[in-house]
Structure 1
Amino acid sequence: MFSGLAHALAPGTPVERGDGEAAVTEDERQLNALLAAQRGAEHARLWTNSRCLVTTRRFARMEGFADAAATSRARGWPVFVRTSGGTTVVHRPGILNFSLYEIAPVGAVDINACFQRFTERLIIGFAAIGVSAETGWVKGSYCDGRFNIVSGRKKIAGTACLVRKSGGWFGVLAHAAINIEGDTQADLAAITAFERGLGLDIPYAPASHTNLVARIRMRG
């Protein structure tokens, strides 16, 4: 399942096996390195990660973050912080991360068009393995957004974007976390417990999430 979708998204790109915070921060490191080269480029990264929660700087600044993160780690879900926006998400084996970097001169990049191309690439990749998908909001899903990848009216992947500028060059990192297989209810329980430790109580709905294995079984 991993290999079929990985090939459809980025042929010839190996899937890296990441481990926690280093796998998360590698996205930003690669974006900065490509931007520093000061030349046009497109680069794809496919990767998995060990089991963890990845949250935002906004949440990391909240009172009680250190205690909530420590408690989450004790439950087997260490918490790391990313630079892009949104809310808390899950990384674990069974989730395929797809990062796409685009470097171009300032004025030659339309961020919205760039992200639109990225989501279209995801939808085409799903179609190549026989799963129909579209973009849209999904009520009750974690880290909800209008560029969710949705299949059967359920969220199957979340997306995010990070933009950097250096001199006369612009860098865009688009990222998707694609749920291939695994227990989405356990994912929601981990996110909910951590965020409640921050004083948040967002009403997530297990029925709003799915994974690729479930969609293929339904198709069959």
Structure 2
Amino acid sequence: MEELSRQLLNQPKWRMIDQSSLGPLFEAEQSFAYDDTLCEAVGRNMSPATARSWVHHDTIVLGIQDARLPHVEEGIQYLQNQGYRVIIRNSGGLAVVLDEGVLNISLIFPDAEKGIDISRGYEAMWELIKLMLADYGKKIEAREISGSYCPGSYDLSIGGKKFAGISQRRLRNGAAVQIYLCISGSGSKRAQLIKEFYEAGLQGEETRFDYPSIIPDTMASLSELLGVQLTVNDMMMKLLVTLKSLSGRIFSSSLSIDEQLLFEKNLLRMMERNKKIRIGS
């Protein structure tokens, strides 16, 4: 599987869209609209395989199941009272924290005629992160970390503590593999925030869906785990160097005119989805 994952990373060329330093006015609705746009563009051969990096400030991204909490309004109000914007994404998974210490990376591949196996997409992202962090000599595992927020089979951890989670979205012959990397700050404080969100959203009620029981100490940032003060810029440099080593060419670009038109449609869709949760904001 490792060889197949490496093959997926060995693209003839990588297009790079770096949105990691756009600041607090860059909103998460835009990010998810960008990935949908790039999925379609790559799937229609309008664009080569694309890597997009992005950072959002003080934002909680909820999954579709989170929106079904029995007291979701109270949960959202709690997060907003802590100074966070709240949105619901257009893909699976559960609540995650995004802030200036969290780097997000999306890898967008063409989903070929036979299709990219879902596990292969996850493995490719795991392989990329292992290559980026190889100099630190730490074993990076991919397995579900019980007690973390948004738990999944491809939680990335060091010494049993989760620092990243991977998700995927398939759209119009494109596949977007997305990861959030907690680079700096306190992983347990982020987890405590989500724990309190679920407490406010559940208020002890039984639900059909099994929401995670958050244990804050199961999560940490890379800076905490590696004992080195890392920044988003540090990890961006590692990303660019690693992609360059995997491909003959890496180039940066903005959206084309056609892609911009797609983006505007996708952004409108995201804004419509999120209109109803603007509680207290």
Matched residues, number: 205
Alignment pair present for 1:204 and 2:211: no
- 8 A Cα contact 2:191 2:219, kept in partner: no
- CA distance in structure 2 between the aligned counterparts of 1:142 and 1:200, rounded to whole angstroms: 18
Cα distance per residue 1:149-198 (max 9 Å; x no partner): 11122111111111113xxxx21111111011112232122212222222
Q: Is residue 2:177 matched to residue 1:171?
A: no
* TM-score for the superposition, normalised by structure 2: 0.65
In structure 1, C-alpha distance between the alignment counterparts of 2:119 and 2:169, rounded to whole Å = 12
SS of equivalent residue, structure 1 residue 69: helix
Contact (CA 8 Å) 1:158, 1:176: kept in 2 or not? Answer: yes
Q: Comparing 181-190 with 108-117, which one deviates more in the overlay?
A: 108-117
1:74 and 1:133 mapped to 2: Cα distance? 35
SS at match of 1:105: coil
Residue among 54, 57, 76 paired with 1:47: 54
Q: Per-residue CA shift, 1:3-25, capped at 9, x if unaligned?
A: xxxxxxx8976352353333442
Output the TM-score relative to the length of structure 1.
Answer: 0.81
Higher relative contact order (CA 8 A, sep 6+): 2
- Measured after TM superposition, the shift of residue 130 of structure 1 is 4.5
Which residue pairs with 2:21 in the alignment?
17
CA contact (8 A) 2:96 2:194 kept: yes
Aligned residue identity for 1:97: N
Gap regions ≥5 residues in structure 2: 1-13, 205-211, 229-281
1:105 deviates by: 3.3
Q: In the alignment, is residue 184 of structure 1 matched against residue 212 of structure 2?
A: no
User: How many Å separate the matches in 1 of 2:17 and 2:166?
Assistant: 20
Letter of the structure 1 residue corresponding to residue 179 of structure 2: A
Structure (1 or 2) with the greater helix fraction: 2
SS at match of 1:17: coil
Where does structure 1 lack aligned partners over 5 or more consecutive residues?
1-9
**Counterpart position of 1:29:** 36
Verify the 8 A CA contact 1:123 1:134 in the aligned structure 2. Answer: no
Corresponding residue for residue 79 of structure 1: 86
**2:114 is the counterpart of 1:104:** no
- Cα distance in 1 for partners of 2:111, 2:150 equals 29
Assess, with a 3 A threshold, how the Cα gap between structure 1 residues 125 and 180 changes in structure 2: closer, same or farther. Answer: same
Find the counterpart in structure 2 of residue 157 from structure 1. 164
Q: Specify the alignment match of 1:140 in structure 2.
A: 147
Residue 101 of structure 1 and its aligned partner are, at CA, apart by: 0.5
Shift of 1:27: 4.1
Distance in 1 between residues matched to 2:190 and 2:128, nearest whole Å: 26
Contact kept, 8 Å, 2:136 with 2:226, in 1: the verdict is no
Measure the CA separation in 2 of the matches of 1:36 and 1:138: 33
- 1: CA distance between counterparts of 2:203 and 2:91? 20
